[in-house]
Chains A and B, each alone.
Chain A
């Protein structure tokens, strides 16, 4: 499956990595092959970054999480079952790390906000108040409960199957499908009042 893999030089993206190629890379990494590790970084940096960024909403934090996740994956690569797809295992590290950092940041922010007595939650009202369509869609996504949002991001945005997303989120595939169902209903409800988020809306084709 092609997850829109990133390139090291920022130019053309490298070819998608098959499970066989991944297995070869991981076997070589187990013996300390730096070139193989670099290949793995090139292959999964973009998807790892996107996932971290979507959880955290902050580029610098996403970079830090990505770096930590790759190093953690390298340290625990012996625990990875060679022959299985690497991406769900790797993204689980990314997601756990990102959620942990976000929790820490949220606690810090809540402490600061409680001092100012401000309500930090965006809520549906804010969603409909957003001026631009993209902002409204992003806000609608952000307003979803954590697990539903993660399921949407992994399945709808990264193109994973429910089983793969379940592996990342440590949930059964059926639960992921149920989360997706709920998320879609909520997104439909929130976005229904306006139609400007639809493709071609401004051209009058919607």
Chain B
């Protein structure tokens, strides 16, 4: 009886599989090839790790840098905010002068800081009152 083509195809497929089953690598080949591949892949994997780290840092920097700048500005505002000196508070001549310039220290104290207490009265009388 003549075989149907589909059955013959299956028989040929089986024959092909049987004839080709020697194509598998043996255990020693697998280990050797695997070790070679992994050793040679090392530099590329390291490059990818570095690239990935750099990308992560860049992504983080996108929000951390503006946040840090904002925080620094806020901090600077609170730390450097001009404060009216308390009565009787000892201030350095420079602080007194700057305070006078921005108007939080009386003018005579600022002038005293700039030219010395002895000449302060003279300075106010002669120079400032002329104008």
The chain A residues found within 8 Å of chain B, CB to CB, are 4, 6-11, 29-34, 37-38, 41-42, 45-46, 49-50, 53-54, 59, 62-63, 66-67, 70-71, 74-75, 133-135, 137-138, 141, 152-153, 156-157, 184, 187-188, 191, 197-199
Contacts and interface: CB of A to CB of B under 8 A. Distances in A.
A32 B16 contact: no
B31 A10 contact: yes
Contacts of B30: 6-10, 45-46
Contacts of A37: 38, 41, 45
Interface string B16-52: 1111100111111111111011101110111111111
Contacts of A4: 24
Interface string B81-99: 0000000000000000000
Given A32-B48, A32-B51, A199-B11, 8 more contacts: A46-B24, A49-B29, A62-B25, A135-B19, A184-B5, A187-B12, A188-B8, A197-B15
Contacts of A134: 18-19
Given A156-B13, A184-B12, A49 B45 contact: no
Contacts of A54: 20, 23
B36 A67 contact: yes
A71 B38 CA distance: 9
B9 interface: yes
B27 A10 contact: yes
Contact of A137 (B15, B37, B41, B42): B15
Contacts of A6: 24-25, 30
Contacts of A63: 25, 29, 32-33, 36
Contacts of A62: 25
A30 B48 CA distance: 7
Q: How large is the interface on B (under 10, 10 to 19, 20 to 34, 35 or more residues)?
A: 35 or more
B14 interface: yes
B24 A71 contact: no
B25 A45 contact: yes
B29 to A, nearest CB: 7
A74 B18 contact: no
Contacts of B8: 188
Contacts of A199: 11, 14-15, 18
Given A6-B25, A70-B37, A71-B41, A32 B31 contact: no
Nearest to B11: A198
A66 B33 contact: yes
A30 B52 contact: yes
B110 to A, nearest CB: 62
A63 B47 CA distance: 25
